[in-house]
């Protein structure tokens, strides 16, 4: 069975399972996968997820979603930063007499799903209280345009925000990005990649810098090279179905082609790290343990080892990095700590 992206697993918990009465049993292999993705679902903490526990956890998530605040109306909605229908962003302006920093949310979904509307309302509220504006963007799916399109869209959205600095009262020196899974990958790629500004371009957006103050990664992958992932993790993570549209592959053998090897190297954020890159906060929730050799394709695609390897290289380069795991017992929780960390960096004096 193929491993599903985290966002789609949540959809199963909150939608498909609840649509059937009486409740059917859930396949053991799917329960095992869910246990790795959602350890909190194991109510009795015996290391085994039962069908009853899965449904109970689904109901808990549903209740939380019903209580979730509605997204406030953006100051600027569906603002086009490019010509494609997916190249749009929403912007929430914080009340301030001074130009504000901006925190940018980039959604996940395996580069083939998800939308800007998945930003948490609490992020907007918390940032607004501190005088930080927020943006949330869509980008082209790899089913519409393969790599590097999603990463370039993330960079262009940052450049677009800078081009609006005067009109929207943005501090162009204080922009950060964060996201989960694919959104984490895009955030880190933009953070570590050389500045994409083209000072002589006829396009005023392209003349702006794409650099970030800092980035946040939730379950992010420090490499998108399937062969490198196979070396790092073993198991089936490297066979995740998202890689096929990501590189426009027609067969697994395509991974050995020189042009794909070049793309895979460029797509992997760890290969872009240099000493002048911004700091990163990393949060993981998957089990921090070796993958089984026979694990299903895609299993472990949010493995903490992606963070361990990235942090090791960042530490060696003297770049600030923070690693947190859902089971570390620290307070505040990893996600809350990440938001506070991002806000602190955005509110620090611009360099």
Encode pLDDT of 122-132 as tens digits: 999 999 999 99
Among 5-14, 67-76, 120-129, 199-208, name the one with the lowest average pLDDT: 5-14
pLDDT greater than 50 at residue 217: yes
pLDDT greater than 80 at residue 20: no
pLDDT greater than 70 at residue 66: no
Average pLDDT over every residue of 170-197: 98
Whether omega for the bond prior to residue 148 falls within 30 degrees of 0, making it cis, is yes
* Under 8 Å between Cβ of 167 and 135: no
Whether the pTM exceeds 0.85: the reply is no
Residue 167 sits at φ, ψ, to 5 deg, of -70, -40
Whether omega for the bond prior to residue 22 falls within 30 degrees of 0, making it cis, is yes
> What pLDDT does residue 61 have?
76
Average pLDDT over every residue of 93-109: 97
Q: Taking the CA atoms of the chain, what radius of gyration do you get in angstroms?
A: 20
For a pLDDT cut of 70, what percent of the chain falls above it? Answer: 92
Which of the two residues, 13 and 163, has the higher pLDDT score? 163
pLDDT greater than 90 at residue 9: no
pLDDT greater than 90 at residue 3: no
> What pLDDT does residue 15 have?
40
What mean pLDDT is reported for the chain?
Answer: 91
43: number of Cβ within 10 Å: 14
Q: How far is CA 335 from CA 267, 278, 281, 340, in A?
A: 25, 19, 10, 9
151: number of Cβ within 10 Å: 24
In the beta sheet, which residues pair with residue 71? Answer: none
Encode pLDDT of 224-265 as tens digits: 999 999 999 999 999 999 999 999 999 999 999 999 999 999
Q: How far is CA 60 from CA 100, 114, 165, 327, in A?
A: 37, 22, 42, 20
Encode pLDDT of 26-63 as tens digits: 878 778 877 877 888 888 888 898 988 888 888 887 77
Average pLDDT over every residue of 119-148: 97
Which of the two residues, 350 and 325, has the higher pLDDT score? 325
CA within 13 Å, CB half, 212: 29
107: number of Cβ within 10 Å: 22
Residue ranges and CATH numbers for the domains of the chain are: 6-66 (no CATH), 76-347 (3.40.50.1820)
């Amino acid at each position: 069975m193929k491993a599903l992206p985290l966002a789609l697993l949540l959809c199963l918990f909150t939608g498909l399972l609840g649509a059937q009465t009486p409740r059917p049993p859930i396949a053991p292999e799917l329960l095992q996968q869910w246990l790795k993705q959602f350890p909190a679902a194991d109510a009795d903490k015996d290391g085994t997820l039962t069908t009853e526990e899965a449904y109970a956890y689904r109901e808990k998530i549903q209740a939380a979603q019903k209580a979730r605040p509605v997204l406030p109306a953006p100051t600027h909605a569906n603002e086009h930063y490019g010509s494609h229908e997916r190249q749009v962003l929403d912007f929430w302006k914080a009340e301030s007499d001074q130009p504000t920093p901006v925190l940018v949310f980039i959604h996940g979904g395996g580069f083939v799903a998800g939308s800007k509307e998945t930003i948490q309302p609490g992020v907007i509220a918390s940032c607004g209280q501190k005088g930080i504006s927020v943006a949330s963007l869509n980008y082209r799916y790899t089913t519409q345009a393969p790599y590097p399109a999603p990463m370039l869209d993330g960079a262009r959205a940052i450049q677009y925000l800078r081009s609006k600095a005067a009109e929207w009262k943005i501090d162009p020196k204080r922009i950060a990005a964060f996201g989960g899974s694919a959104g984490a990958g895009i955030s880190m790629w933009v953070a570590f990649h050389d500045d994409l500004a083209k000072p002589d371009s006829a396009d005023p957006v392209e003349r702006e810098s794409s650099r970030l103050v800092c980035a946040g990664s939730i379950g992010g992958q420090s490499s998108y090279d399937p062969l490198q992932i196979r070396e790092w993790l073993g198991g089936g993570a490297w066979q995740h179905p998202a890689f096929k549209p990501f590189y426009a592959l027609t067969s697994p053998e395509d991974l050995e082609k020189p042009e794909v090897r070049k793309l895979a190297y460029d797509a992997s954020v760890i290969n872009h790290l240099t000493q002048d890159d911004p700091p990163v906060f990393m949060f993981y929730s998957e089990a921090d343990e070796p993958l089984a050799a026979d694990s299903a394709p895609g299993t472990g695609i949010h493995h903490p080892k992606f963070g361990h390897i990235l942090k090791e290289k960042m530490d060696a380069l003297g770049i600030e990095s923070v690693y947190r795991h859902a089971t570390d017992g620290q307070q505040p929780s990893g996600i809350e700590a990440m938001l506070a960390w991002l806000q602190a960096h955005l509110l620090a004096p611009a360099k």
